Amino acid sequence: MPLDRELMRGAGPVAVLKLLERREMYGYELVEALEQRTDGVLAMGQSTLYPMLYNLEGKGLVASRWDDSGPRGRKYYRLTGTGKRRLAADTAQWNAVTGAMRQLGIVGRLAADPARALEYRLAIPTAGLAPSNGLRP
Amino acid sequence: MPLDRELMRGAGPVAVLKLLERREMYGYELVEALEQRTDGVLAMGQSTLYPMLYNLEGKGLVASRWDDSGPRGRKYYRLTGTGKRRLAADTAQWNAVTGAMRQLGIVGRLAADPARALEYRLAIPTAGLAPSNGLRP
DNA sequence: GGGGGACGCTATGCGAGACATAGTATGCCG
DNA sequence: CGGCATACTATGTCTCGCATAGCGTCCCCC
């Protein structure tokens, strides 16, 4: 359920870094977690997530290792020290931007209400259309 | 005081549309209003704002008219009907994204506290550096 | 037993838009 | 009178989401 690409450019990477703050995760697991943990708002397909991970790794914000112990090989990603600092900075920026949007009257003082989140999610343009990038319908 | 370019991609246009929701404004006035109304968080220079306005007009979201009654000509912009609908949709998306970021623990339940906004603004990378695009120092 | 979807990943190119650089013009204040 | 503020236009660079295409194979169900 696609979020506007320009918003995803600002939100996607920091959301991924935040998920990796708690524990290392493999790619496909991140796809699932973004869907589950944000009620689909920040859902992204493999064609978005994997290049994003390569980019984050290229910048030294995450590091990866292969785990071939299961039936399928999995590439696990973890936050680096640089990544943790970047996450802190991005988190501050996101709070600043959210504050600014509130000042303008775009974002309200919204409680962390999943029902409300779903309400807004349904308002997203093209809601219900399944993109052809591997996202679940 | 530059906000990350990727965040501005998502925040800039909707902020401009929101400012035009109340009344028409001319370009330079929008530059000033973005600085004042968001404590500098969404401040942008003329080289960012004008192309953004041309893009919004190209999409039919705003319309412009010249006013030569003063000592300098001013190009006033107003929201179109299409622009109003787009603003409503973008506002919903921003609330959805903010809710998602809150679910992940990136954005907190922040009161509209200008002092807090300033605190976050100071946390923005490169705070204090004056860009060479006409933004005030 | 085999087919198809899920699982897990890689490669590459296109398009959108922030913003830097460069420019023009001139009003106005010290 | 000079410099900064005011007000705008033009163009090119850079970044990154994501589409398209692909490989490999596990596993479930008909």
Confidence band for A2, pLDDT divided at 50, 70 and 90 = confident
Task: Inspect the interface and report whether the beta carbons of B117 and A103 lie closer than 8 Å.
Answer: yes
Measure in Å the smallest separation between the Cα of A69 and chain B Cα atoms: 30
Query: Mean pLDDT across the stretch A55-64?
Result: 97
Confidence (pLDDT) at A121: 52
Rounded to whole angstroms, the Cα distance separating A55 from A72 reads 24
- pLDDT value at residue A38: 95
* pLDDT score at B108: 82
Amino acid identity at B113: D
Q: Which residues of chain A lie closer than 8 angstroms to B13, CB-CB?
A: 6
Per-residue pLDDT of chain B (137 residues; tens, 9 = 90+): 479 999 999 999 999 999 999 999 999 999 999 999 999 999 999 999 999 999 999 999 999 999 999 999 999 999 999 999 999 999 999 999 999 999 999 998 654 444 454 555 555 544 433 333 444 33
Q: Please check whether strand C approaches the CB of B27 to within 7 Å.
A: no
- Specify the pairing of strand B74-79 against strand A25-26: unpaired
Domain segments of chain B as ranges: 5-123
Which bases of chain D come closer than 7 Å to a protein CB?
A: 5-12, 15-22, 24-27
- Spatial separation of the C-alpha atoms in residues A95 and B120, rounded to whole Å: 7
CB contact under 8 A, A38 and B7: no
What are the pLDDT digits (tens) for A74-114? 999 999 999 999 999 999 999 999 999 999 999 986 544 44
Q: Which residue is nearest to nucleotide D24 (CA to C1')?
A: A72
Residue A50: per-residue pLDDT: 97
Q: Is the Cβ of A35 closer than 8 Å to some Cβ of chain B?
A: no
Contacts of A100 (CB under 8 A, 6+ apart): B11, B15, B38, B39, B41, B42, B117
CA of B51 to C1' of D10 (A): 10
Give the ipTM of the model, two decimals please: 0.84
Predicted confidence (pLDDT) at residue A127 exceeds the cutoff of 70: no
Among the four given CATH numbers 3.40.190.10, 1.10.10.10, 3.20.20.190, 1.10.3720.10, the one describing domain B5-123: 1.10.10.10
